Structure 1
Amino acid sequence: MGHLHHFSAGWISPVLAYAMACVGSALGLRCTVRARAADGRSRRNWLLTASVAIGSGIWTMHFIAMLGFGVTGSPVHYDVPLTVLSLLIAMVVVGAGVFTVGYGPPGLRSLLLGGLGTGVGVAAMHYLGMVAMRLHGHVAFDPGLVALSVVIAAGAATAALWAALTVRGTMGAVLASLVMGLAVSSMHYTGMAAVRIELTPSRAPLTGVTAMEFVFPLAVALGSFLFLTAAFVALSPTARERAAAASVDSLPEH
Structure 2
Amino acid sequence: MLHTGYNPALVALSVSIAVLASYTALDLGSHVRSAASGPRWAWIAGAAVAMGGGIWSMHFVGMLAFEMGMPAAYDLGLTLLSLGLAIGFTGAAFAWIGRRGAATRDILIAGPVMGLGVAAMHYTGMAAMRVPGNLAYHWLVVWVSVAIAVTAATTALWLTFRQNSVWQKLIAACVMGVAVAGMHYTGMAAATFTAEAAGAHAAHAAELDHAQQNLALAVAGATFLILFLAMLAASFDQQRVGGELRASEARFRAAVQAVRGVLWTNDAEGRMVGEQPGWSAITGQTRSEYEGYGWAAAVHPDDAQASIEAWNETVRARRTFMHEHRVRSADGTWRHYAIRAIPVLDARGAIREWVGVHTDITEQRQAEAELRESNEEIQRYAYIVSHDLRAPLVNVMGFTSELETTREDVRAALQDHPRAAGIDADLAEALGFIKAAVTRMESLIAAILKLSREGRRTFAPERLDMTALLRRIADAQHHQTESAGARVIVAPDLPEVTADRLAVEQVFGNLIDNAVKYLDDARPGRIEVTAQTVGGGRVRFSVRDNGRGIAARDHARVFELFRRSGAQDKPGEGIGLAHVKALVRSLGGRIEVASEFGVGTTFSVTLPRESATGQGQDVPPVRLAAE
Which category describes the TM-score, using the shorter chain as reference length?
A: 0.7 to 0.9
Residues 34 and 239, structure 1, Cα contact 8 Å, conserved in 2? no
The 5 Å alignment of 1:84-99 reads 84-99=80-95
Paired position in structure 2 for 1:67:
64
Residues 94 and 120, structure 1, Cα contact 8 Å, conserved in 2? no
Paired position in structure 1 for 2:165:
169
Paired position in structure 2 for 1:105:
101
1:230 aligns with 2:231: yes
Unmatched segments (≥5 aa) in structure 2: 202-210, 258-627
Paired residue total: 246
Paired position in structure 1 for 2:121:
125
- Where 2:238 maps in the other structure, the secondary structure is coil
Please, which of 9, 15, 20 is the counterpart of residue 18 of structure 1? Answer: 15
CA distance in 2, matches of 1:222, 1:55: 11
- Where 1:250 maps in the other structure, the secondary structure is helix
Residues 26 and 176, structure 1, Cα contact 8 Å, conserved in 2? yes
Instruction: State the one-letter code of the partner of 1:175.
Output: I
Paired position in structure 1 for 2:38:
41
- Cα offset for 1:167? 2.8
- Where 1:22 maps in the other structure, the secondary structure is helix
CA distance in 2, matches of 1:2, 1:53: 35
- Where 2:30 maps in the other structure, the secondary structure is helix
Residues 17 and 220, structure 2, Cα contact 8 Å, conserved in 1? no
The structure-2 alpha-carbon separation of the partners of 1:88 and 1:170, relative to structure 1 and needing over 3 Å to count, comes to same
Paired position in structure 2 for 1:2:
2
CA distance in 1, matches of 2:236, 2:33: 18
- Cα offset for 1:125? 0.9
Instruction: State the one-letter code of the partner of 1:236.
Output: D
CA distance in 1, matches of 2:239, 2:168: 15
More helix by share: 1
- Cα offset for 1:241? 3.1
CA distance in 2, matches of 1:166, 1:124: 27
CA distance in 2, matches of 1:246, 1:35: 22
- Where 2:134 maps in the other structure, the secondary structure is strand
TM-score (norm 1): 0.88
The more displaced of 100-109 and 48-57 is 100-109
CA distance in 1, matches of 2:32, 2:244: 15
1:186 aligns with 2:182: yes
1:250 aligns with 2:251: yes
Residues 53 and 223, structure 2, Cα contact 8 Å, conserved in 1? yes
Please, which of 193, 196, 213 is the counterpart of residue 200 of structure 1? Answer: 196
Instruction: State the one-letter code of the partner of 2:247.
Output: A
- Taking every aligned residue pair, what percent have the same amino acid on both sides? 35
- Cα offset for 1:164? 0.7
Instruction: State the one-letter code of the partner of 1:246.
Output: A
Instruction: State the one-letter code of the partner of 1:117.
Output: V
TM-score (norm 2): 0.37
CA distance in 2, matches of 1:138, 1:212: 24
Paired position in structure 2 for 1:217:
218
Residues 23 and 227, structure 1, Cα contact 8 Å, conserved in 2? no
C-alpha distance after superposition, 1:197-228 (max 9, x if no partner): 12102869xxxxx7557565344212211123
CA distance in 2, matches of 1:216, 1:143: 32
Instruction: State the one-letter code of the partner of 2:56.
Output: W
C-alpha distance after superposition, 1:26-61 (max 9, x if no partner): 111111111111120111111111000000110111
Residues 14 and 65, structure 1, Cα contact 8 Å, conserved in 2? yes
Residues 138 and 199, structure 1, Cα contact 8 Å, conserved in 2? yes
The structure-2 alpha-carbon separation of the partners of 1:189 and 1:166, relative to structure 1 and needing over 3 Å to count, comes to same
Residues 78 and 124, structure 2, Cα contact 8 Å, conserved in 1? yes
Paired position in structure 1 for 2:25:
28
Residues 112 and 154, structure 2, Cα contact 8 Å, conserved in 1? yes
The structure-2 alpha-carbon separation of the partners of 1:154 and 1:169, relative to structure 1 and needing over 3 Å to count, comes to same
Residues 23 and 230, structure 1, Cα contact 8 Å, conserved in 2? no
CA distance in 2, matches of 1:115, 1:104: 17
Q: RMSD of the alignment, in Å?
A: 2.4
CA distance in 2, matches of 1:41, 1:112: 26
Instruction: State the one-letter code of the partner of 1:67.
Output: L
- Cα offset for 1:139? 1.1
The more displaced of 38-47 and 104-113 is 104-113
CA distance in 2, matches of 1:212, 1:78: 16
CA distance in 2, matches of 1:226, 1:81: 24
CA distance in 2, matches of 1:37, 1:4: 48
The structure-2 alpha-carbon separation of the partners of 1:97 and 1:247, relative to structure 1 and needing over 3 Å to count, comes to same
CA distance in 1, matches of 2:221, 2:114: 23
- Where 1:36 maps in the other structure, the secondary structure is coil
Paired position in structure 2 for 1:144:
140
Paired position in structure 2 for 1:134:
130
- Where 1:34 maps in the other structure, the secondary structure is coil
Instruction: State the one-letter code of the partner of 1:200.
Output: E
1:56 aligns with 2:53: yes
